[in-house]
Amino acid sequence: MNEEQFICELAGHGIELGEKQAGQFRRYYELLVEWNEKMNLTAITDKDQVYLKHFLDSVSVAFRTSFEGPLTVCDVGAGAGFPSIPLKICFPELRVTIIDSLNKRITFLEELGKELDLDHVRFVHSRAEEAGQNPEFREAFDVVTARAVARLPLLAELCLPLVKEGGRFISMKAASAGEELEEAAYAVKTLGGRLSDSYSFLLPVEESERNIFVFDKVSKTPKKYPRKPGTPAKQPLVK
């Protein structure tokens, strides 16, 4: 998928990019490739593939769920900035916080934010479990996103404590995610969430399956969650 196809695909979903935004995506690609030579940010460096599998895939979460307005968005384990930075480029009013446990990725993201001239973005070096117990971040965000970070029962414990009541947790998955959704039902309920939408679609060109799960935060997360770093991975909340 080249740049023109990418812009047309977004326009087909009601997302119109201006020249500044198109330029930000071009610069994003250049920096991704440049920094990838120094650290392992992504296995995908071909330009058409980056536009399809990173940029379009990230923005696809907004095809059915609104990201209009000055929403506070927290991206857990964003790696090289996906999905939150492409969303921020498309919806400049978003106020984005990225939480990542690897400091060198935070260094890249800070440089990326400066180069792309992004305002209202902050990059936090922290484990998600620690952030979820930090009063600054706990139940503070309208939307929390995670893209291909972990299995859903674990992901729910990392993300739902960060979502404010009335907010949303959005999990982006590849193929065959239905089993994870069933497995996560107990964790989601325990942590104050409720499934409000789930949908599958095929990425254009290669037609690979994607699944998006949207959970509403309907009640506060019990204070004991998230548990200490490492515990949710070793003992996920499954029944």
With 0.85 as the threshold, say if the pTM is over it. Answer: yes
All structural domains of the chain with their residue ranges: 69-234
Residue 148 has pLDDT above 80, yes or no: no
pLDDT band at 207 (very low <50, low <70, confident <90, very high): confident
User: What's the pLDDT score for residue 25?
Assistant: 98
Residue 38 has pLDDT above 80, yes or no: yes
Rounded to whole angstroms, the Cα distance separating 141 from 51 reads 28
Mean pLDDT of the chain: 95
| Candidates 3.40.50.150, 3.40.50.970, 3.40.640.10, 3.10.580.10; CATH matching 69-234 | 3.40.50.150
User: What's the pLDDT score for residue 206?
Assistant: 83
Which runs of E-coded beta strand occur in the chain?
Answer: 72-76, 95-100, 121-125, 141-147, 163-173, 193-202, 209-217
Q: Judge contact between 44 and 54, C-beta under 8 A.
A: yes
Residue 175 has pLDDT above 80, yes or no: no
User: What's the pLDDT score for residue 57?
Assistant: 95
pLDDT band at 24 (very low <50, low <70, confident <90, very high): very high
User: What's the pLDDT score for residue 167?
Assistant: 98
Pure H helices in 116-225? 128-132, 152-159, 178-183, 185-190
Mean pLDDT confidence for 94-105: 95
Residue 196 has pLDDT above 80, yes or no: yes
Residue 87 has pLDDT above 90, yes or no: yes
110 is in an annotated binding site: no
pLDDT band at 179 (very low <50, low <70, confident <90, very high): confident
Residue 210 has pLDDT above 80, yes or no: yes
111 is in an annotated binding site: no
User: What's the pLDDT score for residue 70?
Assistant: 95
Interaxial angle between packed helices 103-115 and 19-36, expressed in degrees from 0 to 180 and rounded to the nearest 10: 150
Residue 149 has pLDDT above 80, yes or no: no
6 is in an annotated binding site: no
